[in-house]
Amino acid sequence: MVRPRLAAVALLLTACGGTAATATPTPPCRSAIHFPSPSAVAAPVSAAADQAQVDPGATVTFTETITGPATVQVDCSDPLQVLVTDSTALSVYSGYSEAAAADACGTLTLTGGASESYQVAWPVDPSLPGGTYTATLVLGDAPQLTLSLAVGTLPGAC
């Protein structure tokens, strides 16, 4: 008895110009929150990440820039260091930028308007759980800067 009713409903919908519902693929679950690209400033340095939310297995690149007038002591072999911690302050990554050119390290004195930039990448471990992580950027004796990033799907986001 149920079958004739369903057939009648389908016939009625078709006669009235309705269409049958079709299944659409469900997109992968991503956080509905769209974070702005993280950045921080503490004169004479500024820092930014190339993205605010990254999937495990992808890479985030951090850039720190010194803007003159300034004098900063910068290590030549590992000028920029990044330390990444999870929400419990557990260290999950530590990395360094490539060695700096001779004119971009040591006692670096920049005149007004001059700048020098350094980059370091964080290859996010594919097994890292989704959540918010903090990247601390260390560049010589300049002030340390911190940036917050989301990795994967944030808990409770989907």
Sole residue written with tokens 């290859």: 123
Q: Which domains are seen in the chain, by residue range? A: 35-151 (2.60.40.1930)
Write out 67-136 in H/E/C secondary structure. ECCEEEEECCCCCEEEEEECCCCCEEEEEECCCCCHHHCEEEEECCCCEEEEEEEEECCCCCCCEEEEEE
State the virtual CA torsion across 139, 144, 150, 155 in degrees, nearest 10: 140
pLDDT at 123 over 70: yes
Query: 25-74, pLDDT tens digit by residue?
Result: 444 554 445 567 899 999 999 999 999 999 999 999 999 999 999 999 99
pTM, two decimals, is 0.76
pLDDT for 35 equals 62
How far is Cα 53 from Cα 154, in angstroms, rounded to an integer? 10
CA distance 52 to 32: 13
Q: In percent, how much of the chain has pLDDT > 70?
A: 75
pLDDT of residue 104 exceeding 60, the answer is yes
Cβ neighbours of residue 16 under 8 Å, at least 6 residues apart?
none
Average pLDDT, the chain: 83
Element (H, E) at 150: strand 145-151
Cβ neighbourhood burial of 82 (10 Å; 0-12, 13-18, 19+): buried
